[in-house]
Amino acid sequence: MKSETKKRYQALLTARLQALHAESQTNAGSRDTVPLDQQSVGRLSRMDAMQQQAMAKATQARREVEIRQINAAIRRIEGDEFGYCDNCGEPIPDARLALAPTAAKCVACAQQGQ
């Protein structure tokens, strides 16, 4: 893979990584414990707040998975392994990388679950 293509993917992945970290910081308060204060918050309002907290935690978990995938892709770029399947070593098609720059496997290996 050409070095300018790798640089483009690295810039794209780095920008996405920064955006994920910013989102995580912005939404940190929504993952906090919901206080048990029946005086200020009614039972239904507290249940709603707990549901929103659970959704915020699930969103953060998905963010963390994506962050790990991005960091792995950046390490592959730095190690000249980016664009090659981790399983079979064949080149990953540019169309796949354009859709999923964190892809570590070619389509055939990904479909086989290898």
For 92, other C-beta atoms within 10 Å of its C-beta total 22
User: Each residue of 15-72: pLDDT tens digit?
Assistant: 999 999 999 888 776 666 655 555 555 566 777 878 888 888 899 999 999 999 999 9
pLDDT average, residue stretch 87-94: 94
Q: Nearest-CA neighbor of 17 among 81, 75, 68?
A: 68
CA 87 to chain centre: 21
86, 104 contact by CB (below 8 A): yes
Check: pTM over 0.85? Answer yes or no: no
Side-chain-side CA neighbours of 73 within 13 Å: the count stands at 26
Specify the residue for token string 């392994």: 81
